[in-house]
Amino acid sequence: MPELPEVETIKKELLENIKGKKITDVKIITPKVINYSPRKFVKIIKGTVVKNIQRRAKLLIINFTNSYNLLVHLKLTGQFLYQGKISSATHIIFIFQDGGKLLYNDQRKFGYIKLLTDSELANLLAKADFGPEPLERNFTLDAFKETLTRKKKSKIKPLLMNQKFIAGIGNVYAQEICFYAKVLPMKEVSSLNQKEIRNIYKGIKEILPRAIEYKGSSVDTYLDIYGNKGKFIPFLKVYGREGKQCLRCKKAKIKKITLAGRGTCFCPNCQR
């Protein structure tokens, strides 16, 4: 599933390509992925202009000038492709006044697109109760420490993935952050010392921006809006490296366990 770096990449590319553009038509191929009838959906969007594109946690939000918004969750296989080729996975086509086309693809149809008014969007996000955005300035080390004090019995890696604790981090980057901090992913928050907490925080602040710089990690079907894979996979230290030599200590082999229902890789020598 696309995580913060992947969704942030898509957001930035959409801003570059569709912000300020007028939608002249929308073709709904698969009605089940939207929350209105195709006729009403098209009526609301047709003729409006893209005002802004935002990200909250792993969600994309496309704001329109008519006070409606598209809330998009890409889930496992969702993709936005700009000027891409229509395929059997294409479910919606947005057509712009300048001739540009934005395709919404989703091979497994787990994702969704909700058309919401400004107030409906605000209510939905409030109910989701997302945690702080880790790349914002107010996500400081002190703020991170304060939130940890309320989760002392939690295991650190599942906690990093908890969207109500921190927004946007998923299975891939939670593993990488734990490795960076030299902390076992199953370690309880109550047993973390100050250095480990500081290193976890530092890992969040260093790994996520670097992954964005390389346009994310294509560990599954993720592509940016131009159809390109993310280039961060060569920089992953533990994810997907089960049985391979640790890149840091060169002694142990990466071990994989199931933690909170998710595959989790770590170095049994480096991480304590």
Catalytic residue (choose from 55, 58, 215, 241): 58
What are the pLDDT digits (tens) for 155-183? 999 999 999 999 999 999 999 999 999 99
Position 81 scores a pLDDT of 98
What are the pLDDT digits (tens) for 59-76? 999 999 999 999 999 999
pLDDT of 254 strictly over 90? yes
The fold adopted by the segment(s) 141-266 is: Helicase, Ruva Protein; domain 3 (1.10.8)
What are the pLDDT digits (tens) for 184-202? 999 999 999 999 999 999 9
What are phi and psi for residue 79, nearest 5 degrees?
-145, 145
pLDDT of 8 strictly over 90? yes
CA distance 40 to 46: 10
Check if 2 is active-site.
yes
Question: In a 3-state reduction of DSSP, which class is residue 211?
Answer: helix
Check if 3 is active-site.
yes
CB 185 within 8 A of CB 175: yes
Catalytic residue (choose from 2, 5, 158, 185): 2
pLDDT of 220 strictly over 90? no
Position 132 scores a pLDDT of 97
**214 falls in which pLDDT band (50, 70, 90)?**
very high
- Would you state the torsion angle of the CA atoms of residues 184, 160, 206, 141, taken in this order, to the nearest 10 degrees? -100
Return the domain boundaries, the chain.
4-128, 141-266
**Two domains, one topology: 4-128 and 141-266:** no
For 4-128, CATH number? 3.20.190.10
Question: In a 3-state reduction of DSSP, which class is residue 89?
Answer: coil
In the chain, what percentage of residues exceed pLDDT 70? Answer: 100
Q: What is the mean pLDDT of residues 119-131?
A: 98
**Mean pLDDT, the chain, whole residue set:** 97
Position 14 scores a pLDDT of 98
Position 1 scores a pLDDT of 86
Q: Tell me the C-alpha to C-alpha distance, in Å, between residue 145 and each of 28, 97, 194, 202, 235.
A: 46, 49, 9, 12, 27
What are the pLDDT digits (tens) for 78-109? 999 999 999 999 999 999 999 999 999 999 99
pLDDT of 147 strictly over 90? yes
pTM above 0.95, yes or no: yes
| Spatial CB neighbours of 37, under 8 Å, sequence gap ≥ 6 | 31
Position 226 scores a pLDDT of 98
CA distance 222 to 114: 21
Catalytic residue (choose from 3, 8, 13, 196): 3
